[in-house]
Amino acid sequence: MSSIPAGRASGSLLPVLRRYAWLGYFVLAFGVVLLLVVGAGGTPGDALYGWWKGSFGTQYNLIQTLASAVPIAAVALGVEVGLRAGVISLGAQGQMIIAAIAVTFFALTVAPSLPAWLALPAGVLVAAAAGGVWALIPALAKVYWNVNELLFAILANYLAVYFLAWVLRNPLRDPGGAATPQSAKLPEAYVIPLLPFDGRLHWGLLLVVAGAVVFFLWNRSRSAFVLGVFGSRPNLAERLGLSRARAIIGALLIAGAAAGVAGWMQLAGVNERLREGIDGGIGFTGLVAVLARGNPFGIVLASVLAASFVTGANGIQVESGSVPAAIGEVMQGVLLFAAALAIAYDAIRRQREGVGTKGTL
C-alpha cells in the first residue's frame, strides 16, 4: 500500500487552501463580530438573521446592497492589478475625490450642454484620467526618488480632502447658497440613470460587470503573466521586457483610473452634486480584492459581502434590540484587517522564498 509523502501532500494542499482562503477570512470577520454581538447582549442567531434580512431579505435591501457594492468593486478591480505587480494601492480615496472634482468642473464649466450620449462617456473618461493622474504622484515618487510610497499615497489622500474643501468654498461653490459646502447640481445629462428597480442601483453596475469580464480575459494574457512575474521575480520580468518603472507606474495608473471611475459613480450616480465626503468612505474597502486571490468574479462577490456588512447593520440592530448599527463598520474593519493579514502572509512568503517584497502603493 503506497502513501503520499508528507511534503508532496502539503504542497498539493497549499494551492487549495490559498484558493479558498477568502472563505476563512469571511468566517473570521463574522466570528469576531458575533463575539461582539454577544458582548453587547445580542444572540448570534438574531445577528445572522438580521444581517441577512437587512442585506438581502427584501428586493429593496438587495438593490441597496448591490448599489453600495458597485463602487467598491470598481476600486477593488483596480487594486487587484496593483496586487499582481506586488504593490498595494492605498490612494483610492484621493483618486475618487479628485475624479469627482474633475467631472464636476467639466460638467458645470467646460461642457454643460452635452447630450447624455456624450456626457456619460465623457464623465467616465474625465474621471479615469483624473484618478490616474493623481495615482502618478506616489508612483513617480517611488520609481524616481525612492520616496516611501505608502506614506506618500496617504498624504495624497489628505491633500485631496483639503483640496475638495477648498473648491467647495470657492470655485465650485453652489451659487444658490447652501447650509453645507456643495456644488451646484450636475446637468441632468451627466447623471447616471437608475435601473428600473426600487432603490439607488444605477447603470454603473453594467460597467463593473464589463470590467470584471475584461479583467477575466486579461488575466489569461501574456501581459498579466509578466506583471505577475514582476510581483515575485522582478529580475526575471526585466528579462521578459517589463521594467520596474513600467510595472509600477502602469499598475498604479490602472488602479487610479478604476478608483476615478468609482468616484464618478459616487458623484453622478448617488449624490448628483459634489459634496464633502463624496468618496463615501469606501477608498480603503477596495482592499477586499486581496481576499479573492486574483479572481475578478470573486472580487465582485467580496465587494457585495463588504457592502452587506453596512446595509445589514440596521437589520442586526432591529433584530437584536441592543446592538447598534455601527457594528456594520466594525464588520468591514475586521474584514479589512483580514485582508491586511493576507497581504502580510504573502509578503512573508516571498521573503522566505528569497524574493523580497516590492513595497506598497
pLDDT tier, 130 (very low <50, low <70, confident <90, very high otherwise) = very high
What does 176-234 look like in DSSP terms, one character per residue? T--SS-B-PPPPGGGSPPBPSSSSS-BTHHHHHHHHHHHHHHHTTSHHHHHHHHHHH-H
Poorest-pLDDT segment among 117-131, 160-174, 237-251, 314-328: 314-328
269 compared with 328, residue with greater pLDDT: 269
User: What pLDDT is attached to residue 21?
Assistant: 60
Beta bridge partners of 275: 182
| CA dist., res. 361 & res. 354, Å (int) | 21
pLDDT tens track for 18-72:
555 656 666 776 777 778 778 777 788 888 888 899 999 999 999 999 999 999 9
Q: Report whether 228 contacts 218 (CB < 8 A).
A: no
Cell 506583471 belongs to: 227
pLDDT tens track for 270-284:
999 999 999 988 888
User: What pLDDT is attached to residue 320?
Assistant: 77
| CA dist., res. 55 & res. 66, Å (int) | 9
pLDDT tens track for 213-222:
999 999 999 9
User: What pLDDT is attached to residue 86?
Assistant: 82
What are the C-alpha distances in Å from 58 to residues 44, 54, 307, 332?
21, 8, 16, 22
Q: Report whether 21 contacts 339 (CB < 8 A).
A: no
Nearest Cα residue to 258 out of 113, 80, 109: 80
User: What pLDDT is attached to residue 160?
Assistant: 96
Calculate mean pLDDT across residues 141-153: 83
Poorest-pLDDT segment among 39-48, 170-179, 181-190: 39-48
pTM score of the predicted model: 0.88
